[in-house]
Amino acid sequence: MRKAPLVAALAGVFCLALAAPAFANGITGTVRDIDTKAAIPGAVVSNGRTSAKTNSSGAYTLNAAAGKYTLTITKSGYLKTSQVCAVTAAAATKVDWALTRSYPSHAVPAHDVTVLAWNDLGMHCDQDSYKYFSVLPPYNTLHVQLFGGGEDASRGYSVSYAFAKKTDSTLHTDFWKYASSFGWNLPKNVGLAGEGLSGTMKRDAKGIGFVAEGIPVTPYDDDGTWDPYGQATLTVRNGGGSVVATTNVVVPVSTEMDCSNCHGANAPVDILTKHDAANDTTLLADANAGHPHSCSECHSDNALGAAGKPGVESLSYAMHKRHDGKVANTTEGCYNCHPGPKTQCLRGIMARAGKGCVDCHGTVNKLWTSVAAGRQPWLNEPKCADCHDAKHAENSNTLYRNSVLNNSLEGDMNGRIYCEACHNGTHAEYTTANSADAVVTKTYQGDNYWIYNCAVCHKSGDGETAFRGQAMHR
């Protein structure tokens, strides 16, 4: 494997048609340092035909006819970055950039086996109580890939996980008290997919890594501390049972679905009262009788693989349609339901560069109208390729979290390494605003960047580390 920088995942770029353009068919914007937010003068933006340099305020204007462009930006001391952008006729297009400084120069910490580990979504949602209904059960998924050590990662090793501070989820959730009412007959501290709070990970569907699906972890430590960024310890053993590597990985989960912002202090009762009145249901009476319902009993939910009932709106459609116009189309507005002001689940490099929920997902109105037009929630989601060039696109008809590298320099790593193994999960792409996410990169690379250094997986002298600094994606 030859590893080197991914250049296109670094920019926070907004492609917006300006209502009152100062000129036609052009691109304008500002360029800032992603960490300090200071303006960057002297950066060169190019569309492959013409180029422009930023002034002392970090602003630039690039002449461009109507069409689609792959823009690139270069500046000494910063990583080269690219972005796809469309220019419309008789309108200016605004493209703002946030640049990441060049890779640090330091030795990679010594290690024999590299354990690349990540959470599939960057954040999972949970509830403090299931007394009245279930939107989502405790359900968290970890992935691991192994490299180095003289053994093929597809055989010979086993990987186990455990939580030092979260050993008993029943201490702080009543999920298992009501699980049978939702159709889930589960032993305590066992999740929907049969995983517990410790165990041995299974081989994944592609046969190139390990997975523990549906771990029933909550954001509460055993002592009651609320920590949405708790860690699991991973232990790797060889075929003889000897421990060859250990590391920690964040297992993010939050109960910050704060319905009380709109529904008041007794939000669950208010929600069910309104649902019953609008739909002639008896959800509140059932819950008071000790038999609460899961939303997915009636509303289809692809996140749970639940088909729902014929003729009933999907959960995503119903929730976004119902709240359309009631929350602002901003990240803060989305945080009314998604975690949240305290959790700050949108923390990846895209967010640090200025992108918000709406930039990728669209407005609340678009979220439900797109479902009405045929989009499948959770299965048809925003794509890296919507903004980044073809080199850095997902696999065809595949979500980012399931995609693998398929354009390595000489093809030797094609199909063998997940995008998330190097770049982390959705909403938490390296480098994130939360230092808790950087355990793996600090352990094996010595910094908090995404995995870019060949020596993370290849020992010095194996003929591969000389390629550090070249583009990983051909």
Tell me, yes or no, whether 94 and 142 share the same domain: no
- How many independent structural domains does the chain possess? 3
Evaluate if residue 463 carries a pLDDT over 50.
Answer: no
Task: Report the mean per-residue pLDDT for the chain.
Answer: 89
Spatial contact of 189 and 197, defined as CB atoms under 8 Å apart = yes
CATH of the domain at 58: 2.60.40.1120
Task: Give the structural domain span for 32.
Answer: 8-99
Tell me, yes or no, whether 35 and 112 share the same domain: no
Tell me, yes or no, whether 90 and 206 share the same domain: no
Alpha-carbon gap, residue 218 to 37, rounded angstroms: 35
Tell me, yes or no, whether 297 and 351 share the same domain: yes
Q: Is residue 392 part of a domain?
A: no
Q: Is residue 467 part of a domain?
A: yes
Evaluate if residue 91 carries a pLDDT over 80.
Answer: no
DSSP 361-412: H--HHHHHHHHHTT--TTTS---GGGTS-GGGPPPTT--GGG-B----SSST
Q: Is residue 383 part of a domain?
A: no
At 185, list the tokens: 């007959």
Evaluate if residue 73 carries a pLDDT over 50.
Answer: yes
Alpha-carbon gap, residue 79 to 65, rounded angstroms: 27
Tell me, yes or no, whether 301 and 242 share the same domain: no
Alpha-carbon gap, residue 112 to 448, rounded angstroms: 20
pLDDT in tens, 108-160: 898 889 999 999 998 999 999 999 999 999 999 999 999 986 555 556 899 99
pLDDT in tens, 276-300: 999 999 999 999 999 999 999 999 9
Burial 392-405 (b: 16+ CB within 10 A, else e): bbbeeeebbbebbb
The total of other beta-carbon atoms located within 10 Å of residue 61's CB is 16
Evaluate if residue 464 carries a pLDDT over 90.
Answer: no
Alpha-carbon gap, residue 405 to 6, rounded angstroms: 11
Tell me, yes or no, whether 401 and 413 share the same domain: yes
Burial (CB count within 10 angstroms: exposed 0-12, middle 13-18, buried 19+), residue 202: middle
Helix ranges, 119-266 (H):
175-178, 260-263
Tell me, yes or no, whether 122 and 240 share the same domain: yes
Q: Any long-range contacts for 14-19 (C-beta under 8 Å, 24+ apart)? A: 14/94, 14/95, 14/96, 14/354, 14/355, 14/359, 15/83, 15/85, 15/86, 15/93, 15/94, 15/95, 15/387, 16/93, 16/94, 17/88, 17/91, 17/92, 17/93, 18/91, 18/92, 18/93, 18/94
Tell me, yes or no, whether 308 and 426 share the same domain: no
pLDDT in tens, 367-377: 999 999 999 99
Evaluate if residue 467 carries a pLDDT over 80.
Answer: no
pLDDT at position 24 is 55
DSSP 313-340: PPHHHHHHHHHTTTS-SSHHHHTTTSS-
Could you tell me how far CA 4 lies from the centroid of its own chain? 22
**Confidence category of residue 3, pLDDT binned at 50, 70, 90:** very low
Alpha-carbon gap, residue 201 to 168, rounded angstroms: 19
Alpha-carbon gap, residue 57 to 126, rounded angstroms: 44
Q: Is residue 32 part of a domain?
A: yes
Tell me, yes or no, whether 69 and 183 share the same domain: no
Alpha-carbon gap, residue 322 to 331, rounded angstroms: 18
Sequence length of the chain is: 474
At 237, list the tokens: 């053993």
Q: Is residue 320 part of a domain?
A: yes
pLDDT at position 55 is 98
Given 78, 99, 120, the domain boundary residue is 99
Lowest mean pLDDT, pick from 9-23, 137-151, 196-210? 9-23
Evaluate if residue 379 carries a pLDDT over 70.
Answer: yes
Identify the DSSP state of 39: B
Burial (CB count within 10 angstroms: exposed 0-12, middle 13-18, buried 19+), residue 207: exposed
Q: Is residue 378 part of a domain?
A: no
Alpha-carbon gap, residue 190 to 198, rounded angstroms: 10
At 372, list the tokens: 């009405």
Given 41, 73, 99, the domain boundary residue is 99
Q: Is residue 248 part of a domain?
A: yes
Alpha-carbon gap, residue 236 to 112, rounded angstroms: 12
Alpha-carbon gap, residue 96 to 98, rounded angstroms: 7
Tell me, yes or no, whether 231 and 113 share the same domain: yes
Tell me, yes or no, whether 344 and 473 share the same domain: no
Q: Would the pTM count as exceeding 0.95?
A: no
The arithmetic mean of pLDDT across residues 343-352, rounded, is 94
Tell me, yes or no, whether 286 and 189 share the same domain: no
Given 62, 83, 99, the domain boundary residue is 99
Evaluate if residue 7 carries a pLDDT over 50.
Answer: no
Q: Is residue 143 part of a domain?
A: yes
Phi and psi torsions of 53, nearest 5°: -115, 140
